[in-house]
C-alpha cells in the first residue's frame, strides 16, 4: 500500500505529513521561519528531531522535507500528493485532481491570496516533478464555505459584480471542517448546535457553524478582511484606500501595506508575533493586543447574531490554543451572551475553560488530516485503474 503525502504551505512555513490512511500520520514534518535560520522538525513514533537549515525558501524547504521523509515514502513514492490550496474560487466545493486546466484557473486567483496561493501552486509543480507517477490533489480552504446563504456571501455592489465573482469566499476552511468533525466526536451534544470557531494565528478569522456547516465567515473576498492579523489589516473603511490612492499610492504599495505592514506588526511597531507582544509589556504592544481582542469580541458578538445565539465558542490555531490572556480579554465583555471564562482552566489551557451557560473550548486543529481525507475522497472517485490502493 503506497502512502499519501500532504503539503501545507503557509506564508512563512511548509508542513508535510505521510499517511497510510487517514486515521493518523506516520510522520509529520515542518520547516518554520522560512528564511535565514529556518528550523525543520520531524515527529514520528512520539519523538521529535530538530534541524537548522541555513537558508530556506519554500523550494528549499520542499527539497529538505522530501529527503527527510524518504524512509516513510518508500521506493515507489506516494500514490498521491495532497495540497492545501487557499483559494478555489466560487465553484470548487470539494477536493479536485489538479489538472492543467484546473491549475490555470487557480493561477487566476493569485491576486486574491498573494501570501499563500503562489506558494501553494509552486509546490504542486515541484511535487509533480518530484513524484511524476503520483496524482496531485487539491484540498481547498474556501470549499467549506460554499453553500452560504446569499446574504452572507454578497457585497452591496451592483448585482453584476457578484455574478462576476466579487463575493465573500471565506478561508481557513480545512481548519474549520476539522474542528466541526472533532466537536461531533468529542462533544456530540454540541454537534448540531450554534458554534463560533476562532482560528487565531498569523492569519486569523472567525466562522459561524450550524449543524456542522459553515453559515458565515469573517473573511471575505480576500484573506485580508475581518479580524486584524499578524501583518494583515483586517476590516478597514474602503474610503481609506481611496484616499491613499488619491495621495499617489499605487497597487503594489497598497498590497504591501495591507498584507505585510499592518495588523499587529503595524499597530505595535514591534512584531507580528503575539508571543513577542505578550512578553513585551510596552504601551505599544498592549495597544495592539487590546485592538486585536476588541475586534475579536466584536466579531464573536456579530456572528452570534447571525446564528441567533451561540452554544459554544471554540479557540484554535497558534494564538487560540496557546494564548490564555487573549482568550480571557476577548470574552470578558461577552458575559451577556453567557460566555464566562474559568480563569484556572484557561491558564492551564484545559480543553474546556467555561463556567457560564455557553461552552468555551480549546482545540487543536489538524489541516493535514483534512488534506489526507480529501485525497482519499478524490482517489475514490477516479476510475478503478487509478483508484487509491
C-alpha dist (Å) from residue 44 to 38, 50, 363: 20, 12, 21
Residues 32, 41 contacting (CB under 8 angstroms): yes
Q: Mark whether 20 is an active-site residue.
A: no
Determine the straight-line distance between the first and last CA of the chain, rounded to whole angstroms. 6
Distance in angstroms (rounded) separating the CA atoms of residues 308 and 304: 6
Strand bridging mode 14-19 / 204-210:
unpaired
Distance in angstroms (rounded) separating the CA atoms of residues 95 and 89: 13
Helices (H) and strands (E) in the chain, counts: 15, 13
Distance in angstroms (rounded) separating the CA atoms of residues 32 and 46: 20
Catalytic residue among 20, 45, 57, 141: 141
- Provide the grid cell at 226: 475581518
Distance in angstroms (rounded) separating the CA atoms of residues 174 and 105: 20
Single out the residue of 385, 384, 376, 305 nearest to residue 97, CA to CA: 376
Three-state helix/strand/coil letters over 158-206: CHHHHHCCCCCCCCCHHHHHHHHHHHHHHCHHHCCCEEEEEEECCCEEE
What secondary structure letter does DSSP report for 299?
H
Distance in angstroms (rounded) separating the CA atoms of residues 22 and 80: 13
Hey, how many other C-beta atoms are within 10 angstroms of the C-beta on 110? 15
Residues with Cβ within 8 Å of 223's Cβ and at least 6 positions away in sequence, in order, are 86, 112, 113, 115, 116, 171, 203, 232
Q: So which residues are the catalytic ones?
A: 141
Amino acid at each position: 500500500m503506497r502512502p499519501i503525502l500532504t503539503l501545507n504551505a503557509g506564508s512563512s512555513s511548509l508542513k508535510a505529513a505521510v499517511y497510510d490512511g487517514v486515521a493518523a500520520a506516520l510522520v509529520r514534518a515542518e520547516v518554520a521561519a522560512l528564511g535565514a535560520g529556518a528550523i525543520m522538525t520531524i515527529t514520528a513514533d512520539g519523538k521529535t528531531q530538530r534541524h537548522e537549515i541555513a537558508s530556506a525558501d519554500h523550494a528549499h524547504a520542499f527539497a529538505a522535507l522530501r529527503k527527510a521523509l524518504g524512509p516513510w515514502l518508500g521506493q515507489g513514492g506516494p500514490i498521491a500528493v495532497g495540497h492545501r490550496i487557499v483559494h478555489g474560487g466560487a465553484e470548487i466545493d470539494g477536493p479536485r485532481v489538479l489538472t492543467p486546466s484546473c491549475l490555470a484557473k487557480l493561477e487566476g486567483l493569485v491576486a486574491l491570496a498573494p501570501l499563500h496561493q503562489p506558494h501553494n501552486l509552486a509546490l504542486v509543480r515541484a511535487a509533480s516533478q518530484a513524484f511524476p507517477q503520483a496524482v496531485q490533489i487539491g484540498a481547498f480552504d474556501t470549499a467549506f464555505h460554499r453553500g452560504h446563504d446569499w446574504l452572507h456571501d454578497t457585497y452591496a455592489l451592483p448585482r453584476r459584480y457578484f455574478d462576476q465573482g466579487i463575493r465573500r469566499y471565506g478561508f481557513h476552511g480545512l481548519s474549520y471542517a476539522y474542528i466541526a468533525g472533532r466537536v461531533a466526536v468529542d462533544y456530540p451534544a454540541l454537534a448540531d448546535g450554534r458554534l463560533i470557531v476562532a482560528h487565531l494565528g498569523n492569519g486569523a478569522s472567525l466562522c459561524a457553524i450550524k449543524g456542522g456547516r459553515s453559515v458565515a465567515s469573517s473573511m471575505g473576498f480576500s484573506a485580508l478582511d475581518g479580524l486584524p492579523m499578524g501583518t494583515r489589516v483586517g476590516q478597514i473603511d474602503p474610503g481609506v484606500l481611496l484616499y491613499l490612492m488619491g495621495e499617489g499610492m499605487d497597487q503594489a504599495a497598497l498590497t504591501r501595506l495591507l498584507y505585510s505592514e499592518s495588523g499587529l506588526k503595524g499597530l505595535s511597531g514591534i512584531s507580528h508575533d503575539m508571543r513577542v507582544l505578550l512578553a513585551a509589556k510596552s504601551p505599544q504592544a498592549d495597544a495592539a493586543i487590546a485592538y486585536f481582542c476588541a475586534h475579536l469580541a466584536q466579531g464573536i458578538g456579530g456572528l452570534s447574531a447571525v446564528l441567533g445565539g451561540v452554544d459554544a465558542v471554540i479557540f484554535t490555531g497558534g494564538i487560540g490554543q496557546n494564548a490564555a490572556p487573549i482568550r480571557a480579554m476577548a470574552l470578558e465583555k461577552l458575559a451577556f451572551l453567557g460566555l464566562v471564562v474559568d480563569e484556572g482552566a484557561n491558564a492551564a489551557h484545559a480543553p474546556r475553560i467555561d463556567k457560564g451557560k455557553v461552552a468555551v473550548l480549546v482545540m487543536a486543529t489538524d489541516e493535514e488530516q483534512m488534506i489526507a481525507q480529501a485525497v482519499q475522497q478524490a482517489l475514490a472517485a477516479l476510475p478503478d485503474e487509478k483508484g487509491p490502493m
